[in-house]
């Protein structure tokens, strides 16, 4: 068979591979959170998962979408950000419901003004709009407070981006912030594991999927000549994943006593 005779087969195969890679980029990022979501739902315990992971991914993907308006990159990366934002909101909703149901006689915290109908608040709130205490940031009692925070961040950063969209320096900086923030994805979980001196409650499958997914994603960035910020921060993200896997090995083979304050189940500041 002449070499040219295989062209009819190679072209659709290349197209299928291209579609497969694009699909993996769009949906592959959310796959690691499926086992973690199921574990939390089954055990009704969100202690092992840091919701600051959700915060990092929400910020990173909102900034990435805004970056797209200044410098159009591949559509699969844009759709990946949209799917990831939806996934993180679902994770936040579950974790908030589980945590609040496990907390008894704890004062409700909110991003927006406190509800006057809240049975735990006997007097009108002193703050007129925001019940914003840095000690309880991202530790609110209702999912709607997280949504309000995300919408506020999106509105402010979107307006700033609109004003500075013609500045190439601003656009490139925005792109760097987007991928650098995502590269720090594993840091909250890394720190939480260090605090607990344990990886109990954290889905090992999630971290393994993080590592394989980030490796694939970084290779995709390099091969498809994505903006240089994507490739550099992708490599950094892989290194953080490996550090978490080292924690799994160390804490499994050399278990350590947790610090004394972890004996109080109501302390869930990392969530």
264: left (phi over 0), alpha (psi -120 to 50) or beta: beta
Runs of H (alpha helix) within the chain: 7-28, 33-43, 52-70, 75-102, 143-164, 168-183, 187-196, 204-223, 228-253
User: What domains can you pick out in the chain, each with its CATH number?
Assistant: 14-106+138-167 (no CATH), 185-254 (1.20.1280)
Q: Are 256 and 197 within 8 A, CB to CB?
A: yes
Q: Are 216 and 28 within 8 A, CB to CB?
A: yes
Structure tokens at 64: 């990435």
Look at residue 119 in the predicted model and tell me its pLDDT.
42
Q: In whole angstroms, how large is the CA radius of gyration of the chain? A: 21
Helices 228-253/187-196 angle, 10° precision? 20
| pLDDT tens digit sequence for 95-126 | 999 988 887 655 666 676 544 444 444 444 44
- Placement of tokens 């109080």 in the chain: 264
Rounded Cα distance, 191 and 185, in Å? 11
Look at residue 129 in the predicted model and tell me its pLDDT.
41
Q: Are 146 and 129 within 8 A, CB to CB?
A: no
In a 13 Å sphere around the CA of 61, the CA atoms on its Cβ side amount to 25
Range with lowest mean pLDDT among 18-27, 60-69, 152-161, 244-253: 18-27
Q: Which residues contact 139 (CB under 8 A, 6 or more apart)?
A: 109, 268, 269, 271
Range with lowest mean pLDDT among 31-40, 55-64, 178-187: 178-187
Look at residue 65 in the predicted model and tell me its pLDDT.
94
Of 87, 47, 98, 53, nearest to 202 by C-alpha is 47
Average pLDDT over residues 256-265: 46
Number of neighbours of residue 58 by Cβ within 10 angstroms: 23
Q: Are 29 and 86 within 8 A, CB to CB?
A: no
Structure tokens at 232: 């550099």
Average pLDDT over residues 74-94: 91
Helices 52-70/143-164 angle, 10° precision? 30
- The answer to whether residue 151 scores a pLDDT higher than 90 is yes
| pLDDT tens digit sequence for 165-193 | 999 999 989 988 888 888 887 887 788 88
- The answer to whether residue 221 scores a pLDDT higher than 90 is no
- Placement of tokens 């972890």 in the chain: 262
Buried b (16+ CB within 10 A) or exposed e, 112-143: bebeeeeeeeeeeeeeeeebeeeeeebbbbbb
- The answer to whether residue 67 scores a pLDDT higher than 70 is yes
- Placement of tokens 């915060």 in the chain: 55
DSSP letters for 35-76:
HHHHHHHHHT--TTS-THHHHHHHHHHHHHHHHHHHS---HH
Look at residue 155 in the predicted model and tell me its pLDDT.
97
Range with lowest mean pLDDT among 122-131, 160-169, 208-217, 240-249: 122-131
């Amino acid at each position: 068979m002449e070499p040219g005779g295989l062209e009819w087969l190679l072209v659709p195969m290349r197209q299928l591979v291209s579609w497969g890679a694009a699909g993996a980029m769009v949906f592959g990022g959310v796959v690691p959170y499926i086992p973690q979501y199921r574990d939390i739902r089954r055990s009704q315990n969100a202690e092992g998962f840091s919701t600051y992971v959700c915060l990092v991914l929400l910020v990173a993907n909102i900034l990435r979408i805004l970056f797209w308006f200044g410098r159009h990159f591949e559509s699969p990366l844009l759709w990946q950000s949209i799917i990831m934002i939806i996934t993180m909101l679902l994770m936040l909703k579950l974790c908030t419901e589980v945590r609040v149901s496990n907390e008894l006689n704890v004062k409700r915290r909110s991003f927006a003004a406190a509800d006057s109908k809240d049975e735990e608040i006997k007097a009108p709130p002193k703050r007129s709009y925001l019940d914003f205490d840095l000690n309880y940031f991202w530790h609110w009692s209702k999912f709607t407070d997280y949504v309000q925070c995300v919408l506020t961040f999106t509105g402010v950063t979107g307006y700033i981006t609109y004003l500075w969209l013609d500045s190439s320096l601003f656009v490139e900086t925005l792109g760097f912030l987007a991928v650098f923030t995502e590269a720090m994805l594993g840091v909250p979980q890394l720190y939480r594991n260090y605090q607990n001196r344990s990886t109990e409650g954290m889905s090992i499958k999630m971290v393994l999927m993080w590592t394989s997914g980030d490796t694939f994603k970084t290779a995709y960035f390099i091969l498809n000549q994505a903006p240089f910020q994507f490739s550099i921060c992708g490599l950094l993200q892989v290194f953080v994943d490996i550090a978490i896997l080292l924690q799994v090995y160390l804490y499994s083979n050399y278990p350590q006593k947790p610090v004394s304050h972890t004996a109080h189940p109501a302390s869930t500041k990392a969530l």
